[in-house]
Structures are given as C-alpha cells and as structure tokens.
Amino acid sequence: MRFFFLFLPIFLFAQAHIFVLHRIDDFRYPYTNTPSKELEKYLKYLKEHDYKVVKLSTLVKLIKEKKPLNKIVVFTIDDSYKSFYKNGLPLFKKYQYPFTLFVYTKATTQHWGDFMNWKQVKECAKYGELGVHSWAHPHLPMLSNKEIIKDTKKAINAFKKYVGYVPKMYAYPYGEYNERVKKIINKFFPIITNQNVGAIDYTSQINDLDRIALTGKVNFLEKLKLKKLHLKNLTIKKNKNKIIEISGTLEENLPYVYIYITSLGWKKIKTQNKSFSYTPNFNLRKYRNRIIIRYNYKIISKLILKEEK
C-alpha cells in the first residue's frame, strides 16, 4: 500500500481553466461579445463556490511549482476593447478578481474608436496584468518569418514607449498559429496562450496554453468540468487540404473517443489497446478548422488552417 501514490496517474488531479473574453455588452458583435449579465453570473458562481481567480502569471507559477490547480480560474481579455473597460472592469473590481489583458497595441496606440487608449490600459493593469496581443492583429500563419518578427517588435516597442516594460505573455491573434509561428513568438515571450478548448494541468506547456471562450450565453458549469484528455501521441495526416487520418494513443483506457472536424461534425471512434484511428478523407472547407477529441468531459483540440505559408 505504501506505493499507492506513486501509481496515481496525473489525470486524476483537479485542473485549472483559462477563459477568454473579448467585448462586454457590445451586442453589435455577437461572436465576440459577452453580456455583463452573464459575466456577473460566472463571477458570482466562482465566489460562492470558493474558486480562486488568479492572474495568468500566477497560474504559470503554480504549474511550474506543481502546486494544486484545484478550483483555479484565470480570465484573459483579448483586444483591449473599450467595452471591457466600461462594462467588464467594474465587475472584476466589484468581485476583486484579477485578470490578464492582452493588448492590441496598434489599435490602442492609434486611438481606434472601439479600443482603450494606453491610459485606460494602464488603469486596467492596476487590477490585473498586461500581455501582448500583437501589433496589427495579423493572421500569423499567413506571414513570413520576417513579417512575424516585424509585427512582434512593433508591439514590444509600443509597450516600452507607453507602459515602460514588456510583458512576458502573448496571445495569438484569432488564436491562429502553427509550429513555425510558435517558435518565433516563443523567442520573445515565454508564456503563450492559444484558443484551443481545453483544461490546464501539470502537463500543460506554458508556451501553448489552451483557453475556453465565453461568448454569448454559455453553460459555465459545464466548462468548469472540462478536463484535459491525455494522449501519448496524436498524428494528423494531411494531403494538402485533405485530412486523411487522425490517430493517436491515449494515456488511459477509454472505450471510445468522439472526434470532431469543422464542417464534418462528430464521429464516434472505438479504441483498441488505448489507440484510435479515424480516416475521414475529408477536404477542409473553411480557413479555420477545429479538430476536437473528446471523451465525456475530457477534451483536447487542435486548430488546422487551410492555407498558410
């Protein structure tokens, strides 16, 4: 019995969740808007159920130090919209919850109508922390290496000029990246967030942190139940824009997994000796495509882009 704990697999431990918000009470944009009424419900639930809301940098510290991630929640805010400053910030202040704001530096520097100015961004920083969300909000996988570096340096310089320091955190515009993009961005920022649905545990990479979007009206409790599905390996075999095969090996014995591909939907795939193989032979239709692998609340997802450099 004394060896019992050695055999406890890592996926039995509780997991943290990183959420992403964009606009608050800006109903012109339903795909990026969260009603403040909904946001307040989430914050209230977390408060009443003793969740701990922390900054992204705090979560990263907990991951590195292998501290408990039980009931840890992070809110990240992308794009530095004025609607967050107006309708979101007061709620975070009210509940005394910190957040991590990823600044769209070009929009903020050039005073674009929907965006906060640097003074407002710095005021937000008092109640949370700041991260970088590129300079021009490009589709990074469509850019050359040189162009990615140029955009990143512009964002860094804006932070140096207007804030006086450069954050260690970066959020990909549109959540879009690939290995090439990641390698370049990671040279400038140790902590990177994507927009792949998933939960966070000790196996999460701090330069590839999954985030769950809270847009419109969502079932927040269901999102809090999500756990990371652990794979020993995952292979997505492609021929140009055709997905030939999705295969992998699970860390634990599950009877089946559900696999989702954008424009194709879900398919139940039986496993054999923890392994699964799905051969959809499917031509991607959209530019952005999600592949989600799921078993009950255990989930992992990947973003596949149709055309890129």
Give the shortest CB-23-to-Zn ion separation in angstroms: 11
Nearer to Zn ion, 80 or 117 (CB): 80
Give the shortest CB-177-to-Zn ion separation in angstroms: 13
Give the shortest CB-104-to-Zn ion separation in angstroms: 6
Helix, coil or strand: residue 122: helix
Of residues 214, 131, 142, 205, the one with CA closest to residue 171: 131
Nearer to Zn ion, 17 or 23 (CB): 23
Largest CA distance in the chain: 64
- Assess contact for 136 and 181: CB atoms under 8 A: no
Binding to Zn ion, residues 244-283 (CB under 5 A): none
Binding to Zn ion, residues 72-101 (CB under 5 A): 78-79
Distance CA 114, CA 108 (A): 9
Give the shortest CB-20-to-Zn ion separation in angstroms: 9
Binding segment (CB under 5 A) for Zn ion, from list 12-20, 40-48, 167-175, 240-248: 167-175
Distance CA 238, CA 181 (A): 19
Q: Where does residue 204 fall: left (phi above 0), alpha (psi -120 to 50 degrees), or beta otherwise?
A: beta
Binding segment (CB under 5 A) for Zn ion, from list 6-14, 86-94, 120-128, 166-174: 166-174
Give the shortest CB-103-to-Zn ion separation in angstroms: 10
- Assess contact for 214 and 20: CB atoms under 8 A: yes
176 is a contact residue toward Zn ion (CB under 5 A) = no
Nearer to Zn ion, 175 or 198 (CB): 175
Nearer to Zn ion, 88 or 173 (CB): 173
Of residues 272, 228, 222, the one with CA closest to residue 247: 272
Which residue is it, tokens 């495509």?
Answer: 289
Residues of this chain that interact with Zn ion (CB under 5 A) are: 78-79, 173
